[in-house]
Structure 1
Amino acid sequence: MTEQDSAAPARIRHVDDEGPPPRACPAGAGPGDPEAAAELAELVTAVAAGDRGAFTLLYRRTSHRVFGLAWRLLGNRASAEEISQEVYLQVWSLADRYDRRLASPMGWLMMLTHRRAVDRIRAERAGTDRDSVFQGLHLVRDHDVVAEEATQNLEQQAVVRCLGTLTDRQRDTITMAYYGGLTYTEVAQRLDTPVATVKSRIRDGFKRLSACLTGSDPR
């Protein structure tokens, strides 16, 4: 993105009217639809290049799922709207980290939403009996997350297997940057490692992952 394009979009206004959390998937965004997933992946790629139109379209096609999951986890419309806002701002800033080999676009969004909702619950319930709350939260999985995982089960098994072929440093760096949603700078700070080294580990790690998943020579 250019410096101008990299600026985050203005505050995202949720388009839903008052009412119960939406459960239906918007057209073209249902789990298990390869064509829809491919279209969403192309939108994410365009967002990574600073395309605001693609960002708007991605939001329109997926925001009901993101908002619905956040509401079901938090039980509060205002908090769900805030989480949705945070998720899409994160998408705008981290779209270049998305790799369709590791998750479907919707699965990635569900993961980001679930993580932020859990972080919100953790912050709001600090000092309470959080352990029991989180145990129950993770035992009762949201159906959207389960659906996404079911459609990706074989792919995820392959990814887990291939992650095992990485060095410990590559695996830890990729896990923190991709699954943890951290920036390169944040990963570097946590690992006490130069940013250039973090980028190199991620680049080499993804090269090895790709080779493992496709059965090709990593060289």
Structure 2
Amino acid sequence: MTVEACGDELVARVARGERDAFEAFYRQLLGPVGAVVRRVLRDRAQSEEVVQEVFLELWRTADRYRPERGSVHAWALTAAHHRAVDRVRAARAGAERERAAALRDYRPAYDSVAAEAERRIEDHAVRTALAALAPAQREALALAYWGGCTQTRIAALLGAPLGTVKSRVRDGLRRLRVELG
């Protein structure tokens, strides 16, 4: 006798707590329920756990089965699919929580004191290299890089030809490159 052949009656007996009815119910639906769960989870050990959870849920909720909403087979397979999907979602959420915790606990691999010391050394080297430039080159570079001026604007501010400003910037950068090694 299949679940469908005696579906409503078998589920009603399961709802009353009849163990022999549940055994028959379990034997007839184990294959289809297991197949649905394995298809979703793809992991044998987790699938076995979820199948047991599904049958426990069906045992506990047998009194809520409504034949007008679908067959016993569909009711059981829907419960199996939902439980398997819940397991996948829980695993993803757990992995996301672990990833977020790892990111939250992440500490950079550098020491901020050492980084600050390096920055100060580099600042000093740049200031020393700038001091070695001719005043006209230093002024042109300062207006271009720290003042944010275009070379045309620098020429207007200094009252110098554009070609002269371009030469000062180019020559100043070359000299800085040499000074900074």
Q: TM-score, normalised by structure 1?
A: 0.42
Write 1 or 2 for the structure with the bigger share of helix.
Answer: 2
Q: TM-score, normalised by structure 2?
A: 0.50
